[in-house]
């Protein structure tokens, strides 16, 4: 595990070269000074690495240093399976934030009943969006879409968690314990299914968001920003929305591809 410690020590969000790689980092050292279990506890209990940190790492360096980031994330989930519980909570939070965006654009009423869970705004009603609010929502959705696309493209076990919580809903059983074995990883996951979340907000949320909310965002873009005095902002936000569409498609493909690979392997 010494190679993992060295890579984590070399990771620096402010450094344009986040991984000061050493040739020996790609293989474990002979004289490991701590067990994987101890390393996992140190990283987890002292909040050295959290799921938000891993997501930020993916967004900042996942495309330029994909192999290194994938190695770190894979090792993190192996040495500390408790991160999977945090990932499940993260999925639930992402669902709520996307529902909030749906609600702001008039495509959902579900978030109104969960304002105690999500406090992204102090307003008590939808109201009309102004240009600043619209811009903030576009940037937020783009950040979410890009992070998910990169993270799920790197981590197959994460695709498993997202698949069970975001797409495949079976209402008869909850808290299903599933053994996931991918890339040498074996861990017990507590998968919370449909009864744990509001059904009308979860049923194929990503597809529903892409089909309903994204087009509404384009309509609001034309209505609010497509004016002579705001043309530079209009071009910028339209470009961001175009990227968002692509990133959501990639997210869906990553999860669907993982499911298809599982079916092929089972056969």
Query: Cβ-count burial of 13 within 10 angstroms (0-12 exposed, 13-18 middle, 19+ buried)?
Result: exposed
Contact call for residues 184 and 78 (beta carbons, < 8 A): yes
The tens digit of pLDDT for each residue in 96-122 reads 999 999 999 986 655 444 444 444 544
| Residue 4 clears pLDDT 60, i.e. is over it | no
Alpha carbons 80 and 43: distance in angstroms, whole number: 8
The tens digit of pLDDT for each residue in 41-52 reads 999 999 999 999
Higher per-residue confidence, 238 vs 109:
238
The predicted structure's pLDDT at residue 265: 78
Using pLDDT thresholds of 50, 70 and 90, give the confidence band for residue 36: confident
Alpha carbons 253 and 179: distance in angstroms, whole number: 23
Among residues of the chain, what percentage have pLDDT more than 90? 49
Alpha carbons 64 and 150: distance in angstroms, whole number: 11
Which residue ranges make up each domain of the chain? 2-79, 82-266
| Residue 250 clears pLDDT 50, i.e. is over it | yes
Alpha carbons 259 and 156: distance in angstroms, whole number: 10
Alpha carbons 214 and 252: distance in angstroms, whole number: 15
Nearest to 155 by CA among 17, 255, 80: 255
Using pLDDT thresholds of 50, 70 and 90, give the confidence band for residue 176: very low
The tens digit of pLDDT for each residue in 191-223 reads 444 344 333 333 368 888 999 999 999 999 999
| Residue 142 clears pLDDT 70, i.e. is over it | yes
Q: What is the mean pLDDT of the chain?
A: 76
DSSP state of 114: G
The tens digit of pLDDT for each residue in 46-104 reads 999 999 999 999 999 999 999 999 999 999 999 999 999 999 999 989 989 999 999 99
Using pLDDT thresholds of 50, 70 and 90, give the confidence band for residue 258: confident
Taking CA atoms, 241 is separated from 103, 127, 185, 237, in Å, by 18, 22, 36, 6
Alpha carbons 244 and 210: distance in angstroms, whole number: 10
| Residue 167 clears pLDDT 80, i.e. is over it | no
Among residues of the chain, what percentage have pLDDT more than 70? 65
- Mean pLDDT for 168-179 is 38
The predicted structure's pLDDT at residue 10: 58
Alpha carbons 193 and 180: distance in angstroms, whole number: 16
Alpha carbons 195 and 72: distance in angstroms, whole number: 33
Helices (H), the chain: 2-10, 36-45, 51-61, 66-79, 82-104, 131-154, 156-162, 199-202, 205-208, 214-224, 231-266
Using pLDDT thresholds of 50, 70 and 90, give the confidence band for residue 31: low
| Residue 23 clears pLDDT 80, i.e. is over it | no
The predicted structure's pLDDT at residue 52: 95
């Amino acid at each position: 595990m010494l190679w993992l410690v060295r890579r984590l020590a070399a990771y620096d969000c402010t450094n344009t070269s986040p991984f000061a790689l050493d040739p020996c980092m790609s293989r474990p050292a002979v004289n490991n000074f701590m067990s994987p279990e101890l390393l996992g506890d140190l990283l987890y209990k002292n909040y050295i690495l959290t799921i938000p940190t891993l997501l930020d790492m993916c967004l900042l360096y996942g495309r330029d240093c994909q192999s290194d980031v994938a190695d770190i994330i894979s090792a993190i989930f192996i040495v500390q399976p408790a991160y999977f519980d945090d990932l499940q909570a993260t999925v639930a939070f992402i669902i709520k934030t996307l529902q909030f965006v749906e609600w702001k654009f008039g495509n959902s009423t579900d978030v109104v009943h969960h304002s105690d869970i999500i406090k992204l705004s102090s307003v008590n009603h939808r109201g009309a969006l102004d240009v600043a609010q619209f811009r903030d929502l576009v940037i937020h959705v783009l950040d979410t879409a890009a992070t998910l696309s990169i993270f799920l493209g790197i981590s197959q076990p994460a695709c498993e968690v997202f698949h069970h919580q975001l797409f495949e809903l079976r209402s008869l059983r909850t808290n299903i314990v599933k053994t996931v074995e991918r890339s040498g990883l074996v861990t017990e996951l507590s998968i919370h299914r449909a009864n744990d979340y509001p059904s009308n907000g979860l049923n194929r949320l990503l597809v529903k968001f892409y089909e309903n909310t994204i087009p509404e965002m384009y309509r609001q873009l034309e209505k609010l920003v497509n004016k002579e005095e705001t043309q530079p902002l209009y071009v910028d936000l339209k470009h961001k929305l175009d990227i968002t569409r692509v990133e959501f498609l990639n997210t869906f493909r990553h999860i669907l591809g993982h499911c298809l690979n599982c079916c092929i392997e089972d056969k």
